Amino acid sequence: MADFEAGRYVLPAPERKQNVVTAVGIHDQTQPFTAIGPIPPPEQAPNVVVVVLDDLGFGSSSAFGGPCRMPTAERLAGGGLRYNRFHVNALCSPTRQSLMTGRNCHSVGMGGTTEMATAAPGYSGFRPASAATLAQILQGNGYSTAAFGKWHQTPPREISAVGPFDRWPTGEGFDTFYGFMGAEMNHWYPQLYRGTTPFEPTRRPEDGYHLSEDLVDQSIDWIRTQRSLTPNRPFFTYLAMGASHAPLHVAPEWQEKYKGRFDAGWDAERERILQRQKELGVIPRDAALAPWAEGLPHWDELSETQRTVSARFMETFAGFTEHADTQVGRLVEALNELGELDNTIFVYLLGDNGASGEGGIDGTLNEHRLGHGIADDPEQIITELDQLGTADSYAIGPAGWAVALNTPYQWTKQVASHFGGTRDGLIIHWPGGITGGGGVRPQFHHVIDVLPTILDCVGVPAPSLVNGVQQQPIEGTSMRYSFADQEAPDRRTTQYFEMCGNRGIYHEGWMAVTRHGIPWQMIPDPDRRFENDVWELYDLTTDWTQSNDLAAEHPAKLRRLQDLFLVEAAKHQVFPLDDRVTERENPTVAGRIDLLAGRRSITYHGGMRRLTEETTPNVKNRSHSITADIEVVEGANGVIIAQGGAFGGWSLYLIDGRPTYHYNYFGLQRYQVRTENPLPTGRHEIRMNFVYDGIGAGLGGAVEVTVNGAVDGKGRIEATIPYYFSFDETLNIGVDLGTPVSTEYARLDNALVGLVHSVRIDLGEDQSGQDGDGGKYQRVMSAQ
């Protein structure tokens, strides 16, 4: 019990009293003083590294039989253990919140992504203080801690210069952070944070920059520094790669490695993956290939153009994935060179959910279109195919490849009912604690089990009090019992699953599931009721892949499991079920806390930057105006204000001294209103008035631009973006950071030549058609 002394149950450690002063002068002090430092780590405590890849799927990695070559995953699996019945939640934020807290996602308020948060307790997006993170626990026990990459757990309204910062990485137990704060990021031109300070890399793609490489460089530099300065302290490094989530961004040479590799299509690839998985022993020899997803075409049903386009998407995805794994390999080698690899628990999670089917039937060069129900035409995509992987695209691949990458299981990301959405490969490498590496562990486990496993290996208990707050029970269980025993019986016998209304319950080898929605239909059927969903029943002791539905044969068993789901769902704050996806990404519809608290007007000042959509007025689906007070020199050019980027947004700028309003509708249509006359030098008021067409989402409207009160330009916008502009781009004053809304000005170095004194945004009534209780939008789309 030496390492489980009472002090470790209360974090941070209570302040300890010094010896009393017994003299005026130090030479007469009779009792010595002892320096008081933080609670030390357990003796010989190992380092901890957790690496997460994004949107990967069970059948993607070569370490689990997939087509994406991942030499680092293979290396770590060869010296460690592969878990082939490991489960995650079916979306990004929920898995990450469970990973960090050891609790089910709804128990800690993360029943959807942060952008989908509502006011309901299980979906609020706010981690309760009663659920301390793994980083807080290790930090409180003497570890140095650092996080790099994707951080998708902070409520969007708190991602601003004024915070609060207690749910940022540095407020959740990490000494340092370098990465991005949302669902995804442009890998060529990222908008990052160092700690809580916005940061843009100084290197550019033409200099060889890529985000995956940058994140690993930062991780290695930090570990080397930590080992030099505090070698007596173990470290915890959390590296969450942006790959292989959209956008698919990777250099051509990585795509070229797979040229022609996928020309046979996804049906043939599923069969190849299945065979390799059996040869590797990560699935049983008698495992069946799960049924194909309804509504998805088979490869031979596609046109020649569709097949050409789809194969290129997969080449890009595979190259993107191999490139990311290769960067992780540099981290592994750095640990080896430092002599730390053997004493490091290396947890490599190959996906935070299943591979994503959100790319629809044909994929897209701009994923935000599909999020709004707009599908790309393959005949158009093929003319722009060379843009795939470059900064000129924001691509996500077809759903057919997602199903293939989840082989041998059914369905994809979002679908919590079937293993295609929830079962991912996990590798644990720890030479100091795992002997006889290279094995496969078949115990049924869940992402909530990672935290207690690490605490068990490190030798610290789960705390009962953190920052003065009594802790709610950790719901995970340690997997360490399985390290030395492949045949050890499961210690996780029950686990519920739910995401976007898709739900399931596992209990003692049986599983009951019901799929409610289809991932590539981002706006659900408003008439589909949860009570009408059809349940399926599987005996997983004989049916590894959920291929043989026994619901009709065992109705009593199904009923008992359905009742158990109700019990577990109620216990973990799953109700009320919510099947909205894209709609919830608009805070007005979702009904979550609004940073602007209903304000209709806000004034920005020159130099304000990096304002996310939830920290700015919502100009969508309503009349509004933009009023800028600027001072210009002769022939001035540059951006006054811009929101979004090349894949959707709007910008007010000067070109040859003429004020111009540009509206970028997903890159499909561009609407522009420019004044007749250039501005003379001096101070001016530029105003853009937009009058929305009526009631409904995504309608057009009339635009007029005035200069010093006089109308000098008029025009129309025929369609507007109804739900969100971007997950990675921001609103900026005096410059357009990231990718440019308009092609009329440079990608970088587009700041206004002059001075922005202020920019005011004034909002009219919300005309989206939602009801006062946060109901669904009236589904009026301007394009299909």
In this predicted structure, what is the pLDDT of residue 776?
36
Q: How many CB atoms lie within 10 A of CB 329?
A: 18
Would you tell me how many other CB atoms lie within 10 Å of the CB of residue 29? 14
On whether residue 41 sits in a domain, the answer given is: no
| pLDDT over 70 (residue 1) | no
549 and 648 assigned to the same domain: no
Pairing of β 86-87 and β 445-446: parallel
Q: Give how far the C-alpha of residue 326 lies from the chain's centroid of Cα atoms, to the nearest Å.
A: 21
Report percent pLDDT > 70 for the chain: 97
Q: What residues are paired with 754 via a beta bridge?
A: 632
pLDDT tens per residue across span 330-350? 999 999 999 999 999 999 999
What is the tens place of the pLDDT at every residue in 747-780?
Answer: 889 999 999 999 999 999 989 885 433 333 333 2
339: Cβ contacts below 8 Å, ≥ 6 apart: none
Q: How do residues 163-209 score in pLDDT, each as one tens digit?
A: 999 999 999 999 999 999 999 999 999 999 999 999 999 999 999 99
Q: Domain count of the chain?
A: 3
442 in Cβ contact with 85 (< 8 Å): yes
Same domain, 455 and 516: no
Least confident segment among 97-101, 683-687, 746-750 = 746-750
> pLDDT at position 784, please?
24
> Which CATH number characterizes residue 716's domain?
2.60.120.200
What SS3 class is residue 48?
A: strand
Last residue of a domain, one of 585, 610, 633: 585
Q: Is 82 helix (H, G, I), strand (E, B) or coil?
A: strand
Of 219-223, 455-459, 491-495, 592-596, which range is least confident? 592-596
Q: What is the pLDDT of residues 254-275, one digit of tens each?
A: 999 999 999 999 999 999 999 9
Per-residue confidence at 522, pLDDT binned at 50, 70, 90?
low
Which pLDDT does position 3 carry in this prediction? 40
Q: CATH number of the domain that 509 lies in?
A: 3.30.1120.10
Would you state the structure tokens that stand for residue 208, as one six-digit string? Answer: 């060889």
In a domain, 39, yes or no: no
Question: Could you tell me which of 127, 91, 87 has the C-alpha nearest to residue 108?
Answer: 127
Question: What does the radius of gyration of the chain's CA atoms come to, in whole angstroms?
Answer: 27
292 and 305 fall within a common domain: yes
Residue 436: its pLDDT value, please? Answer: 84
Q: Are both 122 and 177 inside the same structural domain? A: yes
Report yes or no on 252 lying in a domain: yes
Calpha distance 172→202 (Å, rounded): 28
Q: Give the residue, 7 or 684, on which the prediction is more confident.
A: 684
Q: Identify the pLDDT of residue 647.
A: 97
Q: What 3-state class would DSSP assign to 307?
A: helix
Is there a cis peptide before residue 576, judged by omega within 30 degrees of 0?
A: yes
Secondary structure (H, E, C), 751-763:
ECCEEEEEEEEEE
Give the mean model confidence (pLDDT) for residues 425-441: 95
* Domain co-membership, 504 together with 644: no
Cα(623)–Cα(602) distance, rounded to whole angstroms? 15
User: Would residue 281 count as lying in a domain?
Assistant: yes
Tell me whether residue 4 is in a domain.
no
CATH of residue 423: 3.40.720.10
208-258 pLDDT, tens digit each: 999 999 999 999 999 999 999 999 999 999 999 999 999 999 999 999 999
* Last residue of one domain, picked from the residues 539, 556, 585: 585
How far is 32 from 580, CA to CA, in rounded Å?
65
Percent of the chain with pLDDT over 90: 88
Residue 11 belongs to a domain? no
Output the pLDDT for position 314.
98
Q: Which of 304-313, 369-378, 468-477, 535-544 bottoms out in mean pLDDT, i.e. has the lowest? A: 369-378
Both 394 and 436 in one domain: the answer is yes
Query: Using an 8 Å Cβ cutoff, are 119 and 587 in contact?
Result: no
Are 650 and 524 members of one domain?
no
Domain that holds residue 608: 593-763
Per-residue pLDDT reduced to its tens digit, 551-574 = 999 999 999 999 999 999 999 999
Beta strand pairing call for 425-429 and 86-87: unpaired
Which pLDDT score, from 0 to 100, does residue 18 have?
79
Q: What integer is the mean pLDDT of 123-141? A: 97
> What is the structure's pLDDT at 645?
97
d(CA 419, CA 410): 6
Question: Is residue 107 over pLDDT 50?
Answer: yes
User: In which element (H, E) is residue 180 found?
Assistant: strand 176-180
637 pLDDT higher than 90? yes
- Residue 288: is its pLDDT beyond 90? yes
Token pair in block for residue 606 = 């020159």
Indicate if 225 and 184 belong to the same structural domain.
yes
Whether residue 509 is found in the same domain as residue 654: no
- Find residue 676's DSSP bridge partners: none
Q: What is the pLDDT of residue 590?
A: 83
Domain check: are 418 and 357 in the same one? Answer: yes
Q: What is the mean pLDDT of the chain?
A: 94
Residue 378 lies in a domain: yes
Q: Are residues 425 and 538 in the same domain?
A: no
3-state DSSP assignment of residue 667: coil
DSSP reduced 3-state for 567: helix
Cis upstream peptide for 41 (omega within 30°): no
Query: Based on the domain organization, do 422 and 529 belong to the same domain?
Result: no
